[in-house]
Structure 1
Amino acid sequence: MGKNLIYKRRSIRSFDDEEVSDSLIEEIIKDASHAPSWQNAQPWHVYVAKDGVLDRIKAEYKNAKKNNLPSNTDITTPHRDNRSDLSMKNIEEWGDSVKEALGDQGTDLPEFQEARADLFHAPAVAYLTAKKNASEFTIYDIGSFGQTLMLSATSWGIGTIPAYALVTYPDILKKELLIPDDEEVVIGIAMGYPDDSKLNCIKTTRTDVDNILDIRK
């Protein structure tokens, strides 16, 4: 059962407008709270944007993009120079998978761009925060929480995607979600019911285990 759940989870890039109830979100977050953390510190907080708040965030994001405001995420993003050859190969293969599903335009497809600009049309987005200047172990804990959240959501029939596009303007998020100044936004996870868009037909592969595993005896 657990293995089937892992393989069932996938990134959803276009949601329909059906609401995800508050009670179901609470169940998913309750499940996620069982993720492991250093000394059981549970260093996460979750802010869920829905309805009017999410509509304002989407509108402000689009306005910021229109005015060419640079993104300024709270945590650093990986630079290609610091990625391994294997990671770069995997990224290239992801691009091929996108083109296979969407056509030669790939991520430049207007439908893809529109969905990303509208935060994937998600009816809810969960934003995970940590205290400012959190240690790398704390960021690991947040990642564990996020993955547990997404697996729980999958078990409830809810699609998800963690994405850079959701956290490009943290100042907007902090204003609309009333996030305290001593917290930083680590990641956003869009949540909802998948629609029938071809954006949801992107299928990725995983590198062979031999490429990532060394067992020493």
Structure 2
Amino acid sequence: MDFEEVFNKERATRKFSTRKVDDELIKEIIKKAQQSPSLLNSQPWRAYAITGGALLKLKRENKAYIARKVPVSEDFSTMLSIDWSTFPSQNMSNMGAFVTYFLHNKTELFENANNNMFYAPAIIFLTIPKKSPAWSVFDLGIFAQSIMLLAINRGLDTMPAHSLVAYPDLIRKYTNIPDDEAIGMAIAIGYADKAAEVNSPTYIPGRVPFDKIFKLIK
């Protein structure tokens, strides 16, 4: 697939179909993503893909946690407790207004998909050692973006979601991720349910004016 096409097709998929993702394809994507750059070639990332029966059990228990309103306890800082600076706070505020308008009668559909881990047939959990410099978080982001672009290039759809790593202890129960690894992010992958109302229309959030994020100094 042409790179420009791959890049432009990267969109969050809110509900996946039941179509299975081939295990070998997942392995191929992760192996290729290993070419991502990292500080001093540290390659701090690890990837844990969960599918099939194990994923069904995780989804079921995760949904029960949500129903019981079990407090989230991410390995990374809890998103909503972060003291954001003014610039990203304003962007998020604008995003919130747009999302409310976009979802209008789809709010319940989105919550249902979110509570069911987007019905994904496969989820890739990404970790770095808890004893890592801040640079490793940057490296993990590069690795995650590589995975998503490679997946799209192979005809898959993706959903990177904070909600997927809300309960790390539960994730460890089904993936055996060691306690000394921080579960930083997860990417749901599969094939979009094209009949799902929550996936349509495609919402493309606006971008900050270019001159607010770029300076050319000579």
Per-residue Cα deviation, 1:7-64 (whole angstroms, up to 9, x for no partner): 2111111111100100111121122111100111111111011011111111111111
In 2, Cα distance between equivalents of 1:174 and 1:78: 20
SS in 1 for 2:16: coil
1:44-83 correspondence to structure 2 within 5 Å: 44-79=45-80, 82-83=83-84
Aligned residues: 214
Identity of aligned residues (%): 35
Judged with a 3 Å threshold, the aligned counterparts in structure 2 of structure 1 residues 78 and 97 are, in CA distance, closer, same or farther, namely same
Shift, 1:80, TM fit:
7.1
Matched with 1:120 is 118
Matched with 2:90 is 89
Shift, 1:130, TM fit:
1.1
Matched with 1:31 is 32
Alignment gaps of 5+ in structure 1: none
Matched with 1:190 is 188
Please state if 1:157 is matched with 2:158. no
Q: CA RMSD in A?
A: 1.7
In 2, Cα distance between equivalents of 1:30 and 1:199: 32
Matched with 2:174 is 176
CA contact (8 A) 1:16 1:195 kept: yes
Judged with a 3 Å threshold, the aligned counterparts in structure 2 of structure 1 residues 205 and 31 are, in CA distance, closer, same or farther, namely farther
Please state if 1:199 is matched with 2:189. no
Using structure 2 for the length normalisation, give the TM-score.
0.91
Please state if 1:43 is matched with 2:44. yes
Alignment gaps of 5+ in structure 2: none
Structure 1 residue identity aligned to 2:187: I
Per-residue Cα deviation, 1:84-130 (whole angstroms, up to 9, x for no partner): 33322322332333234322x56xx2111100000011010000011
Matched with 1:148 is 146
Per-residue Cα deviation, 1:136-171 (whole angstroms, up to 9, x for no partner): 101111110000100111111111111111000000
Matched with 1:4 is 5
